[in-house]
């Protein structure tokens, strides 16, 4: 027992904890991205990116930098953050799974259909484009 209280014992315990922390493999993705990936992750990529380097706020606490694209299939988010283990490389959310909530000068608020709806905030430019696309009826021609 006295060994564990000695400085050598404390260092040994800290060393074991450090090795365990480095060797620990986390779940594939973390937090909200995990829930979104279960439903919307894709191996495909959009043909072009209209909104590179967008800062998207997911829920209350998760922020991500993504390259965003909008096309007839839906809203694409290609993860562009520092730690690729935190998010799926690409998600494609169909238009019928996105709902506009509100807008302010600095951000537009939307919801993604999941088990519990996920709110996300985007820049005014991306928000205006998302709002136009998500409110169009299926089969409606793209005006621009």
Within a domain: residue 4? no
23 within domain boundaries:
no
Asked whether residue 138 carries a pLDDT value surpassing 70, the answer given is no
What pLDDT score was predicted for residue 23? Answer: 58
> Looking at the domain assignment, is residue 15 inside a domain?
no
Quick: pLDDT tens for 33-87.
888 889 999 999 999 999 999 999 888 777 888 999 999 999 999 998 777 777 8
Domain that holds residue 107: 31-135
CB-CB neighbours of 104 under 10 Å:
10
Round to whole Å and give the CA distance between 144 and 141.
9
- For 34-105, strand residue ranges (E) read 51-58, 62-71, 74-79, 90-94, 98-103
How many domains does the chain fold into?
1
In DSSP terms, 112 is beta-bridged to 98, 118
- From CA 13, how far away is CA 6, in angstroms rounded? 11
Please report, for the domain that includes residue 128, its CATH number. Answer: 2.30.29
Query: In this structure, is residue 125 part of a structural domain?
Result: yes
- List pLDDT tens digits, range 82-108: 777 778 899 999 999 999 998 887 899
| Full-model pTM | 0.72
């Amino acid at each position: 027992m006295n060994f564990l209280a000695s400085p050598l014992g404390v260092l040994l315990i800290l060393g074991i904890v450090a090795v365990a922390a480095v060797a620990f493999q986390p779940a594939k993705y973390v937090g909200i991205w995990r829930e979104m990936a279960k439903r919307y992750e894709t191996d495909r990529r959009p043909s072009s990116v209209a909104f590179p380097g967008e800062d998207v706020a997911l829920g209350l606490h998760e922020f991500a930098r993504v390259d965003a694209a909008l096309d007839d299939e839906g809203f694409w988010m290609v993860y562009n953050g520092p730690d690729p283990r935190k998010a799926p490389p690409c998600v494609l959310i169909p238009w019928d799974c996105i709902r506009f909530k509100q807008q302010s000068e600095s951000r537009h608020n939307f919801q993604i259909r999941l088990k519990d709806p996920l709110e996300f905030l985007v820049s005014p430019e991306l928000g205006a484009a998302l709002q136009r696309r998500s409110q169009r009826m299926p089969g409606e021609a793209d005006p621009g």
